Amino acid sequence: MKVTLAGITLANPVIAASGTFGYGIEFDEMVNLELLGAFVTKGISLEPMQGNRAPRLIQTAAGMLNAIGLQNVGVEDFIATKLTALKKYPRAKVIVNIFGYTVSDYVGVVERLNQAEGIAAYELNVSCPNVHAGGMAFGSDCGSLEYLVGRVKAISKRPLIVKLSPNVTSIAQMAQICENAGADAVSLVNTFMAMSIDVETRRPRLTNITGGLSGPAIKPIALRMVYETARAVKIPIAGLGGIITPEDAVEFLLAGATAVQVGTASYADPRATERLAKGLESWCRGHHVESVASLTKALEIPKT
């Protein structure tokens, strides 16, 4: 069940996605963190952030809308309390999600985390608005994305994964930019910008008006984006978007992913990641797949 992502050997390809698994430590009584391939912490910024006002999380048809607002304790508290608490799980692969509103923000977080122990890799959230570029998200602007990834890679002491936004014209092009700038892997997709309206009050259901759509509703689109990206880059891909069952995970692997991330499913079932890891192993055994890594890019396209 072992796979290699961004130069890191994972016990299996199942990763708990950022923003849905807290700092990891919150799940330790429900999930054996060392049985997962890895888990990604919620986004960490230079300074603590309170996030958006409620309501900031609502259910939608076959999915969920969130506008949490990247609430987090800040890098110093994260290192002192959250990361320290994870030391009792030495075999757990901890990937730290990082965000900022300027390149200096990102660099500052990585420089501080470089000094800490117990981190396997960094995942760069490039869906944040670049305040020096008129508010356009880093991941939506080719020049900003290339500069950010290059700057962070230059100072990073750990493998760098870039989490790409699907809210672009060509996500494959953005992945190529990341690869050329030195990224060790990409993860896709992040949430889709969406909204919901209460027709009785005639008001948005989210205080933030819009939010990020995740869950099974986005799976077919996410799968297509992984397929396209896998044929545009050579670096590995962590695929995510509506993965619930082992068969969902296999679809993403066949489309070109090396590993998969599980997000929204953890809200319905806190043990979803561990259940999926075991289920994927059973699926491989039942289908006589000796190595789960052999499924990556194994999609068969009928000849016409």
Give the model's confidence band at 156: pLDDT under 50 very low, under 70 low, under 90 confident, else very high: very high
Res 127: pLDDT? 87
How confident is the model over 199-254, as pLDDT tens digits? 999 999 999 999 999 999 999 999 999 999 999 999 999 999 999 999 999 999 99
Residue 142: active-site member = no
Give the model's confidence band at 3: pLDDT under 50 very low, under 70 low, under 90 confident, else very high: very high
| Angstrom distance (rounded) from CA 38 to CA 93 | 5
Across 66-81, average pLDDT:
95
Among residues 128, 142, 178, 284, the one annotated as catalytic is 128
137-140 contacts, C-beta under 8 A, 24 or more apart:
137/165, 137/167, 139/164, 139/165, 139/167, 139/168, 139/174, 139/190, 140/165, 140/167, 140/168
Res 133: pLDDT? 65
